[in-house]
Amino acid sequence: MTDSRERNSGGQLSGISSVEKEGKMEIKCLSSVQGRVWLLSVFLPWIMLGPLLATDYQIQARLDTDTKIIQGTATITWINRASVPVEDLRFHLYYNAWRDAQSSFLTSNRVSMTDFSDWKDDEWAYNEIDELSVSMNGNSELEAAENPTSFDLTGNYSFIQPDDENSDDRTVLRAVLPRPAQPDETLVIKVGFRTKVPRPFARTGYRGDYYFLAHWFPKLGVIESDGNWNCHQFIQTEFFSDFGTYDARLTVPAGWIVGATGKLVAKDDNPDGTATHTFHQEEVHAFTWTTSPHFLEHRKRFEHPSLPAVDMRLLLMPDHAGQEKRYFRATEAALRLYGEWFGAYPYGHVTVVDPAYKSRSGGMEYPTLFTGGSRWLSPEGSGSPEGVTVHECGHQFWFGLVANNEFEHAWLDEGFNTYSTGRVMEKEFSPRYLVRRYLDDFVPVLFRDLQQSPRSVAGLGGNRSELKLDIMSKPSWQSGPAAFRRDVDPGSRVYSGGAYGVNSYTKPAMMLQTLERYLGWETFQRIMATYFERYSFGHPGPEDYFNTVAEISGQDLQWFWDETFNSSDVFDYAVDSVVSHGNRKSVVIRRWGEATFPVQVRVTFENGDQVLESWDGVDRWIRYSYSRPEEIQTVEVDPSHVLALDINRTNNTWLREAPSALAAAKWSFKWMIWLQSVLEGFAFHI
């Protein structure tokens, strides 16, 4: 059993097969060679081979910690998977998003209010191409031998702005090929590049001698089957790229620890006081690394009766020493529950990075590597670092394996993972308690009398609900701007996180939670597991998920997608009035929101009898009348909390008698005693 779960060195995939059993995924492990055959046999009915084998990278990079510059070369082997000839190549140069304040990223809806006046000239970033060449050798070995051709494209390229025509943006580079690349033709592209590492921004950069390097090299876009490039400017979203194999040789100062996508296969000490770390990983769509002389390295092995084993490596900052058990427990919880619910993690290793203080690199996901985030003082029960660890490890499944286009549909990863994280946190790390930090955000106080729910739409109610900022179906990079909250602080610059955050994270998570409760967990778990198995390595879109839901549930749920995905309307059902005249009782339920959903209404009488009504929720109101002597004690709309998207649950319940004032008095006394203690403490030190 142990041997069958081990992975080959160098980051090769071992196969897994799954069979549904009692609501879980039972995993069978295969050898590496068998695994490749299994991957093709299982996924080929649903996806083309292209995503598995489209683009391979061989990278050599040297980090100069004095100049903060990475000097590198990349040899990219690319197959034209389009059905038509392709006339050009398009590259992402993500670090040019921080070249200056005029880039499309820094003027986007999400970032435009940021003040960059304190940035120094050497704190910005860039990607520069020093050389670019391509070998086009045809579609066969014979043709390649007879007509070998190599072309120097250095300088023969331009920066384009396909999304917003911002001529100052240099995040997409276009190089015209000397002749069109034919379908299935293989090109070998050689790129020499320089990358200037910025001060921390957007989860990349350096802080002191800690470096976190994500999307740092020239990276090809994705060619669609019709021959069009999916290569968006870097504006306000995350990423999308082909699957392939990465081999990277990373040279850093000797003694520095390196963590990266993949598995370390070699480490060589160099005469010049540096060391070269070589990493290899197959079937991933990005390569990220980090390095610092300060990491404390911890290792542990995840094992499970029916899931593949995973070697966990934790790179921990010294000021967080002692939190390794909490990091590992959260990582194990994600690997176990995501694996049981949705499908197995097929790589034999994962690296967890505890980021440096104020490095702004916490809480981000990359293939086989993710960052957590903690504080020097982080009390048990606070949910930190557990919450962010579960969330980012969970991205290994939706982002890492299913790998949808996050430029256009970020919610298929972020929303799915926010929903999944909530389930794990409720099962493994409940209750969580309210934490407030004092003394310049340094000292945490955990209130064990105040439990937090990991899944809610708290703060999204009212006429200015952020759920109304934009429709969810709009491409993520086009999401609407942040909303100034004059109701929060008139005259100030307090503003919301914008439509991107709501429609990528909160709303889709609540949408999935609503579906789970509406369809039942058994059905919904089969939907999620089927989607995961069917579209792993497949780059699915929204319609693929909608079709999976309809197929597995056996229901046409277009009405639900119209109310959620295709609309910015909100849900709000309420008890409007309860009237009693002798034996005549009436209850009026009202729909205050624009969106509709079938709800139940539970009426409880003073003798304990209950009546459960069902309403399609379409009309603006409905009246229920009863002829009986008992008074109505309570009325509840949606008593099972099926509609997680209801923005105001405070109006869902009516009580004949107000609850006792004892609870309010109890809390008042507790707060007064706590406040008195704080004031006494300050007085003692003055």
Q: Residue 432's pLDDT band (boundaries 50, 70, 90)?
A: confident
- Structural domain of 533: 427-563
Half-sphere exposure of 154 (CA within 13 A, CB side): 9
State yes or no: pLDDT of 514 exceeds 90: yes
Residue 379 inside a domain? The answer is no
**Averaged confidence pLDDT in the chain:** 86
471 and 577 share one domain: no
Q: What tokens were used for 61?
A: 């990079």
Average pLDDT (226-252) is 93
* Radius of gyration for the chain, computed over Cα atoms and rounded to the nearest angstrom: 28
Q: Which residues contact 364 (CB under 8 A, 6 or more apart)?
A: 203, 214, 370, 371, 392
Average pLDDT (631-656) is 96
More confident residue, 7 or 622: 622
Final residue of a domain: which of 293, 311, 341? 293
Residue 355 inside a domain? The answer is no
Share of the chain above pLDDT 70, in %: 81
State yes or no: pLDDT of 483 exceeds 90: no
State yes or no: pLDDT of 310 exceeds 50: yes
- What is the count of structural domains for the chain? 4
226 and 93 share one domain: yes
592 and 627 share one domain: yes
Distance (Å, whole) CA 73 – CA 27:
40
Average pLDDT (514-541) is 97
Give me the pLDDT at residue 115, please.
Answer: 76
536 and 589 share one domain: no
Final residue of a domain: which of 535, 563, 591? 563
Residue 459 inside a domain? The answer is yes
How does strand 599-605 pair with strand 632-637?
A: antiparallel
- Burial string for 53-73 (b: 16+ CB within 10 Å, else e) reads bbbbbbbbbbbeeeebbbbbb
Q: Which residues contact 294 (CB under 8 A, 6 or more apart)?
A: 209, 210, 317, 318, 356
Give me the pLDDT at residue 319, please.
Answer: 93
Average pLDDT (311-333) is 97
623 and 684 share one domain: no
State yes or no: pLDDT of 117 exceeds 90: no
Give me the pLDDT at residue 235, please.
Answer: 86
Average pLDDT (625-635) is 97
Q: Residue 447's pLDDT band (boundaries 50, 70, 90)?
A: confident
- Residue 484 burial class via C-beta count within 10 angstroms: exposed 0-12, middle 13-18, buried 19 and up: middle
126 and 255 share one domain: yes
591 and 505 share one domain: no
Residue 89 inside a domain? The answer is yes
Weakest mean pLDDT among 20-34, 45-59, 224-238, 665-679: 20-34
Per 3-state DSSP, the chain is made up of helix, strand and coil in percentages (nearest 5) of: 25, 35, 40
Residue 108 inside a domain? The answer is yes
Average pLDDT (466-477) is 89
Q: Which residues contact 520 (CB under 8 A, 6 or more apart)?
A: none
591 and 619 share one domain: yes
Summarize pLDDT for 391-407 with one digit per residue, the tens: 999 999 999 999 999 98
Q: Is 534 helix (H, G, I), strand (E, B) or coil?
A: helix
Residue 276 inside a domain? The answer is yes
- 283 to 39, 55, 280, 347, 426: CA distances (angstroms): 11, 10, 10, 9, 32
Distance (Å, whole) CA 282 – CA 13:
7
665 and 651 share one domain: no
Distance (Å, whole) CA 13 – CA 349:
10
Give me the pLDDT at residue 677, please.
Answer: 53
State yes or no: pLDDT of 231 exceeds 60: yes
Give me the pLDDT at residue 451, please.
Answer: 82
Summarize pLDDT for 2-46 with one digit per residue, the tens: 233 233 334 555 443 333 333 333 333 333 333 433 344 444 433
Summarize pLDDT for 274-284 with one digit per residue, the tens: 999 999 999 99
98 and 228 share one domain: yes
Query: Please, what is the Cα angle at 509 between 561 and 616, to 5 degrees?
Result: 45
Give me the pLDDT at residue 39, please.
Answer: 42
603 and 502 share one domain: no
CB 216 within 8 A of CB 206: no
More confident residue, 673 or 355: 355
Residue 454 inside a domain? The answer is yes
Give me the pLDDT at residue 455, please.
Answer: 61
Determine the residue type at 26: E
Summarize pLDDT for 548-570 with one digit per residue, the tens: 999 999 999 999 999 999 999 99
Please report, for the domain that includes residue 646, its CATH number. Answer: 2.60.40.10
Distance (Å, whole) CA 13 – CA 347:
6
Phi-psi region of 22 (alpha: psi -120 to 50; beta: other; left: phi over 0): left
DSSP state, residue 554: -
Weakest mean pLDDT among 63-72, 124-133, 664-673: 664-673
State yes or no: pLDDT of 423 exceeds 70: yes
Distance (Å, whole) CA 614 – CA 140:
66
Residue 598 inside a domain? The answer is yes
Give me the pLDDT at residue 107, please.
Answer: 85
Give me the pLDDT at residue 661, please.
Answer: 56
599 and 540 share one domain: no
State yes or no: pLDDT of 363 exceeds 70: yes
Average pLDDT (157-162) is 96
Give me the pLDDT at residue 521, please.
Answer: 98
More confident residue, 563 or 666: 563
More confident residue, 598 or 122: 598
Give me the pLDDT at residue 11, please.
Answer: 52
Give me the pLDDT at residue 460, please.
Answer: 73
Phi-psi region of 183 (alpha: psi -120 to 50; beta: other; left: phi over 0): beta
Give me the pLDDT at residue 10, please.
Answer: 46
Which candidate, 527, 585, 532, 587, places its Cα nearest to that of 555? 527
pTM: 0.86
Final residue of a domain: which of 500, 530, 563? 563
20 - beta bridge partners? 25
